[in-house]
Chains A and B, each alone.
Chain A
Amino acid sequence: AQSVAQPEDQVNVAEGNPLTVKCTYSVSGNPYLFWYVQYPNRGLQFLLKYITGDNLVKGSYGFEAEFNKSQTSFHLKKPSALVSDSALYFCAVRDMNFGNEKLTFGTGTRLTIIP
């Protein structure tokens, strides 16, 4: 069965510093990987995805993520954090084995940017 792990419930970063939110996955086939952000009382917003090609993908609001097949990871990064980046971040995966395309989410990481 496919799964996603976000090992850190909470990440605190000073404004202006680089940030990393970690994600690892487990699938039997090839993964499609996604990052979403959730602000208070809002639905999830799509940030970026990896399907194939370049291991470094760029998304909305200056975020990027690096796919590492050997480490089965897809960490979210940003070079310089903003206070407005404070939110709940979710990693998600699809297993591309035919017949198992369901979208599975991790438990989330709360990112707090300290002014």
Chain B
Amino acid sequence: EAGVAQSPRYKIIEKRQSVAFWCNPISGHATLYWYQQILGQGPKLLIQFQNNGVVDDSQLPKDRFSAERLKGVDSTLKIQPAKLEDSAVYLCASSYGQLAEAFFGQGTRLTVV
């Protein structure tokens, strides 16, 4: 079975610019997650979807970050405007349900200069 697909793999932008990341989860997985992983740290949950609905977005900086999951399948995460501290790897994951293990994509490495 195909894994979680993310694009782009790498992105370099200047501060105050905007950027968007795309994620296609494993087919049939209802739960989708976006994590931020800063170098040397554990993944931090930004937002968790169950189908179209948001389960948790308590750690999403809503003044600059937004995410949507169209039709309960693909998802996009946007940052506008970006700050230097947003430099990190953004990981998308999906699971069959909210109780199952999550499977991760390879991530998008964002560098803000």
Residues of A with Cβ closer than 8 Å to B?
A: 6, 32, 34, 36, 41-46, 49, 51, 90, 94, 96, 101-108
Contact = CB atoms under 8 A, between A and B. Distances in A.
A44 B99 contact: no
Given A105-B42, A105-B43, A107-B42, A46 B55 contact: no
Contact of A101 (B55, B103, B107): B55
Most buried by A among B4, B91, B99: B99
A101 B98 contact: yes
A51 B102 contact: no
Interface of B: 4, 33, 35, 41-45, 48, 55-56, 91, 93, 98-99, 101-107
A41 B48 CA distance: 23
Contacts of A41: 106
Given A103-B33, A103-B48, A46 B101 contact: yes
Most buried by A among B42, B45, B98, B106: B42
Given A36-B104, A44-B91, 14 more contacts: A6-B42, A34-B101, A43-B91, A43-B106, A44-B93, A46-B101, A46-B102, A90-B42, A94-B98, A102-B55, A103-B33, A103-B48, A105-B43, A106-B42
A102 B101 contact: no
Contacts of B99: 32, 51, 94, 96, 101
B2 to A, nearest CB: 14
B106 A108 contact: no
23 contacts: A43-B104, A43-B105, A44-B43, A44-B91, A46-B102, A46-B103, A49-B101, A51-B99, A94-B98, A101-B98, A101-B99, A102-B48, A102-B56, A103-B33, A103-B45, A103-B102, A105-B35, A105-B42, A105-B43, A105-B44, A106-B42, A107-B42, A108-B41
A102 B99 CA distance: 9
A43 B34 CA distance: 12
A62 B103 CA distance: 20
A61 to B, nearest CB: 15
Given A32-B99, A44-B91, A102-B55, A108 B42 contact: yes
